[in-house]
Copies of this chain bind each other. A is one copy, B any other.
Amino acid sequence: MIRHDFYAVEPWSLRETKFDPDVLGQSESVFALGNGHIGWRGNLDEGEPHGLPGSYLNGVFESHPLPYAEAGYGDPEAGQTVINVTNGKVIRLLVDDSPFDLRYGHVVNHERVLGFRTGLLERQVEWESPVGKRVKVRATRLVSLVQRAIAAISYEVEAVDTELRVVVQSELVANEELPPKADGDPRASAVLEAPLRSEEYSSRPAGAVLVHRTAASGLRVAAAMGHEVEAPQALDETVESFEDLARYTVTAVLKPGERLRLVKYVAYGWSQVRSEPAVRAQVEAALAGAVQTGWDGLVAEQRTYLDDFWARADVEVEGDAEIQQAVRFALFHVLQAGARAEGRAIPAKGLTGTGYDGHAFWDTETYILPVLTYTVPQAAAEALRWRRDTLPQALERAGQLGLKGAAFPWRTITGAECSGYWPASTAAFHVNADIADAVTRYIAVTGDTDFEKSVGLELLVETARLWRSLGHHDARGRFRIDGVTGPDEYSAIADNNLYTNLMAQHNLLSAAAVAERYSDRALESGVDDEEAASWRDAAAAMFIPYDDALDVHQQAEGFTSHEVWDFAGTPAEHYPLLLHFPYFDLYRKQVLKQADLVLAMHLRSESFTDEQKARNFAYYEALTVRDSSLSACTQAVMAAEVGQLELAADYLAEAALMDLDDLEHNTRDGLHIASLAGTWIALVAGLAGMRQHHDPHEGTTLGFKPRLPAGITRLAVNLSLRQSRLRIEVTADAVTYSLLDGPPQRILHHGHPIDVTPDNPVTRPIARLPTAAPLHQPAGRAPRRWEAAQ
């Protein structure tokens, strides 16, 4: 069942077995390494050919003016774009007098393997130069999950059948030339020419350091490299450095079968405030630490870190090898995106590309953090601490908008709003409730009361204040939130978006609850009983738009009266619609880019009856074109809940294969981290039916309603719950809940409490569901698992 031609299906790795220049960009993204601080795209060691050269440091960006044809009050004036920092990956090779370049000569064989357990990207290539000289290159690359500032490469070149002279140039390259931006696609990034200005360069034996500063944002970026060489005989070494280039060169003559091996250590650092000597010293210290650890030490640390991760987080899938691989690929990249982000955002693309300018959106809290919360909870806490750290900007933004509390940005690197089109950004206030939801989820899952009464309380209080000031009571006493944009980006500026209202309701209640629980702390934030009561009142009066004639909820007030999009008249090549139709037209019709009300049914499950869920799902399913990668996983979750198991499986596959099959044709710009996280969500919230049940007295309890589709014979999920590790193993007929370690936990199985204790797994039978009546998608927009293969 190999649907993605280029990558072999294996349980614990992603393997590329041939070299194809056409998938270079996609492969650079899927083979990207990172730790949340450093990101290295899977560029070839020799730098070229490339799709997009990319080395990123989380938080390093350049500012640029945001232009407007007609500016309005409150429009953000400055944008932020992630920049390609100093490239420490480059190792060039001269074979006699031919540059090693896969575009010339002959690639005898080529393989790259990303190991989900090793955390290594291994490459083997055998190449014959245009004049017939043959070499083998073995290169292994890592970005350390343990030593945050460190990446390293082991590079080995071997003469195959004739003696030859090899010259290896290991470089630091700043201000690499970048390919131009793909025309007209707003999802790609701005391209800034040469964003780095040299401040310092120097070399020492087998090493060098470059220090640069960004012109407008004023960030100082340093990169240092050091090398170890093994050669069969004496060799020549030189080091040189310039403003935008440092180079370590070794030359050797290899007899057939002889190898030259180079280990390259690269250290990165950056700061907005520290001096040039301080930042330089910081990278040199990190480098010294890595050299002392040594290559084997770094590899061993990586393995230990990942063994621990998989023991806590693995998801086992039997019956569908592709999904098994995909969910581990997904978990690996979600981990890479968030593991060491510490104090910085987790961008929509992680650190795998420049798509969306390197900005973080609501995806982080709604898609990525659920996965991290159950697998690497401290990373989820760090991500929310970053939001808390940006509170001053969010408070200021709210003030600028005439609102109270915090208005977090729609898209940002630093916390400042960077969106230049307010109907799809500023108006999408739901991001604030999404952050609050991530806070309550994290607290419920971890029981982290220190976090709850500090970061959690602050975030819940300021977002609740926002909602209270954004909404108002109408003459009939309903609390309305008018003129906002929900998750569906093909609708905007609507009154009472159901998702927004329900999430705001939860936000208001959560804030009131935490203010009650920690009244002293709340008082320090100025929350008195009256304010908390006003939150509860607004939540109780929240307006829920419903169409009585159709007997479905409305995505927003009046939505179901709008004209239905002419799906039958829209040819396949006119998707994604946003590139072929004006927003004007999309906004006023019944057409959804992505799950909106359906997402509300997942996250605010208890606000809907089962019958409502089924009717709503069927109604909105027929309107949702999934031009957003955030859609499939949520539709998988709700398809599973309403008993549409095969449809759930199809959506699971679409979410899982988004990048492996390049379903949106833009994986080259970076991975869809939220969709990857959605693979886990589709399996865990979808097939395993996991929900958080909120009860004012009992607190939050984790519940499951597991059911497998035909193609999956076994699903096992490992996750963290408070101080315990829980394992849920589902087959077609039964589910077993086990506690791997930690104190006993009470969970719910189809709403019935089960106490799971160590060494006492609990098994429950699963009743088969009758086959569900088929649902309809918009014409031509059925789930896309097989698209890439057709």
Contact = CB atoms under 8 A, between A and B. Distances in A.
Contacts of A472: 563
A443 to B, nearest CB: 31
Contacts of A563: 472, 480, 482
Interface in A418-463: 419-424, 426-427
Given A480-B561, A482-B561, A421 B582 contact: no
Given A68-B67, A420-B68, A401 B558 contact: no
A482 B401 CA distance: 27
Interface in A565-621: 578-585, 587-589
Interface stretch (A70-78, A278-286, A652-660): A70-78
Contact of A420 (B70, B427, B495): B70
Interface centre among A72, A401, A484, A492 (most CB of B within 10 A): A72
Interface in A365-419: 400-402, 419
Contacts of A475: 549-550, 561
A184 interface: yes
A235 interface: no
Contacts of A186: 70-72
Main secondary structure of the interface of A (DSSP, over half): loop
B421 A423 contact: no
Nearest to A483: B588
Contacts of A401: 582, 584-585
Contacts of A73: 578-583
Contact of A483 (B68, B480, B580, B587): B587
A74 B424 CA distance: 16
B558 A495 contact: yes
Nearest to A429: B584
Nearest to A418: B69
A580 B557 CA distance: 29
Q: How large is the interface on A (under 10, 10 to 19, 20 to 34, 35 or more residues)?
A: 35 or more
A782 to B, nearest CB: 24
Given A475-B549, A495-B561, A402 B585 contact: yes
Contacts of A119: none
A493 interface: yes
A588 B585 CA distance: 20
Interface string A475-488: 10000101110000
A322 to B, nearest CB: 35
Interface in A537-561: 549-550, 557-558, 561
A784 B25 CA distance: 63
B420 A578 contact: no
A584 B482 contact: no
A78 to B, nearest CB: 10
Contacts of A524: none
B70 A67 contact: no
Nearest to A543: B561
A422 B583 CA distance: 9
A562 interface: yes
Contact of A70 (B400, B419, B493, B579): B419
A141 to B, nearest CB: 35
Interface string A50-73: 000000000000000011111111
Contacts of A482: 561-563, 588-589
A70 B421 contact: yes
Nearest to A66: B69
A474 interface: yes
Contact of A69 (B67, B483, B580, B583): B67
A468 to B, nearest CB: 12
Contacts of A184: 71
A72 B550 CA distance: 33
Contacts of A558: 495, 557-558
A539 B580 CA distance: 30
Contacts of A424: 70
Interface string A291-331: 00000000000000000000000000000000000000000
A563 B472 CA distance: 6
Interface in A74-89: 74-76, 79
Given A492-B493, A588-B482, A561 B474 contact: yes
Contacts of A582: 72-75, 400-402, 422, 426
A607 B603 CA distance: 47
A321 B742 CA distance: 92
18 contacts: A67-B69, A69-B76, A69-B421, A70-B424, A71-B184, A74-B581, A74-B584, A401-B582, A401-B585, A472-B563, A475-B549, A475-B550, A480-B561, A482-B589, A483-B562, A483-B589, A492-B493, A495-B562
Given A72-B582, A73-B581, 18 more contacts: A69-B420, A70-B420, A72-B421, A73-B580, A74-B581, A74-B584, A401-B584, A402-B585, A422-B582, A426-B584, A427-B584, A482-B563, A483-B588, A483-B589, A493-B493, A493-B584, A495-B588, A558-B558
